[in-house]
Structure 1
């Protein structure tokens, strides 16, 4: 089960003798308990945002005036609450400030991240086969960047991707077959990288056949609701060489 660990500092405490945090981070990371985390800037750099009556109200500084403030966060994967509390108690800041341990909100039927990424890739395959540009673009983040060495320039953003897709579909007739020959993925809490070998087959408008094998490297980002493609690099490759590797 995942837990959010809010690291709360105390601006009145003397932190000069506090033990370094790095050993705690490294130990829990090696144990597979700490998945992700980061230190935050000081409360003076915070901005509090409220919307009242349709008007955006912005206030410099933290939400509440208090000597305790959130100095950082860590995401833990633990068997239960007691294990998460034990991990929090070993954090150096626990001796000076406080650590809030809060479980993630449970989601019924939640799939693991790799399953979601494979489902995303399957959706991309079906959208390409249907020549549905809008459906393809839902797989990409709004600020996605794609580099297709066979097509030339880098495409940045959905408008550029749309133009590239429409040009590709306009040059073919009938379905475009996208067959995933191999797909590997490495993921973290909110980012993932995929490496795939993809066979692309289609009939060009002049009647000739397009049949090529592509090496696809993909960077994924989790938006908080779902995974999307943030970066994509496609290059042609030698099928026999790749299948032996």
Structure 2
């Protein structure tokens, strides 16, 4: 479960004896994988408070409330439960001079399920050779390395051209079998690493049967997820491992 750790500083506290934060970041991040992301914030004097009253935007320089305690930074944690989050917060150096507020995320969505359904859409689009259906899975500013183009392309128009060229080489429905799919989801971005077997008859009378390694980056766009980066690598020679070998 994900938790937001609000690091609350105290401008009246003496921080001269506080331990450095970097060892905590290293332990919770690289070593334990509990800390997903975080950053310091500028001081409250640099804040801007915005209110809207009767349609008028009211801007006030400074924090929402005058107080000796303020939000100095934040960390996004992924823990088994609140107890593990408390244990992580208690080790933060600022806890010795300030306070740590832990807030569980409100979950009413299924981002992993949404992304897996997006991948299923790619399979269906390929089977039907439906370029429009495939393109609906991508963001307009997508960056893609497409085997058909043989180079990186920027934007949906470049991707559509490469997809159309590739679909034109297919003589019939193409089968896309995902042999391995590993996904990591944060709040607004996600990455997957997949091993995908592609099989299809080609217009030149031969048959396609190859295994590709696909790395995909996703971004939450409004209420849905879209692909913003995709790199596909396929064997360059016949002596590369076959799809059967790739299964193991």
The TM tier, using the shorter chain, reads 0.7 to 0.9
**CA displacement at 1:8 relative to structure 2:** 2.2
Residue 80 (1) aligns with residue 64 (2): no
1:51-200 to structure 2, matched below 5 A, reads 63-64=64-65, 66-107=67-108, 110=110, 113=112, 117-180=115-178, 182-185=179-182, 187=184, 189=186, 190-200=189-199
- Could you tell me which residue of structure 2 aligns to residue 13 of structure 1? 13
**Cα 1:51/1:83, change in 2 over 3 Å:** same
Deviations 1:191-222 (A, max 9, x none): 32413232141443xx6345141423313234
**Cα 1:74/1:185, change in 2 over 3 Å:** same
Q: State the alpha-carbon separation in 2 of the partners of residues 120 and 89 from structure 1.
A: 39
Residue aligned with 1:175, SS: coil
Q: Return 5+ residue gaps in structure 1 as ranges.
A: none
**Cα 1:54/1:145, change in 2 over 3 Å:** farther
Deviations 1:116-147 (A, max 9, x none): 54443222111221222232123223322111
- Could you tell me which residue of structure 2 aligns to residue 221 of structure 1? 218
Deviations 1:38-80 (A, max 9, x none): 2134146656666778887777765555544333222223343
Deviations 1:80-112 (A, max 9, x none): 33432232222111122222111111337x47x
Q: Return 5+ residue gaps in structure 2 as ranges.
A: none
TM-score by length of 2: 0.75
Q: State the alpha-carbon separation in 1 of the partners of residues 4 and 233 from structure 2.
A: 39
**Cα 1:41/1:102, change in 2 over 3 Å:** closer
Q: State the alpha-carbon separation in 1 of the partners of residues 225 and 12 from structure 2.
A: 41
Task: Provide the aligned length of Structure 1 versus Structure 2.
Answer: 238
**Cα 1:35/1:210, change in 2 over 3 Å:** farther
Q: State the alpha-carbon separation in 1 of the partners of residues 19 and 139 from structure 2.
A: 41
Residues 148, 165 of structure 2: 8 Å contact kept: no
Residue 241 (1) aligns with residue 241 (2): yes
Residue aligned with 1:142, SS: strand
**Cα 1:211/1:74, change in 2 over 3 Å:** same
Q: State the alpha-carbon separation in 2 of the partners of residues 56 and 138 from structure 1.
A: 37
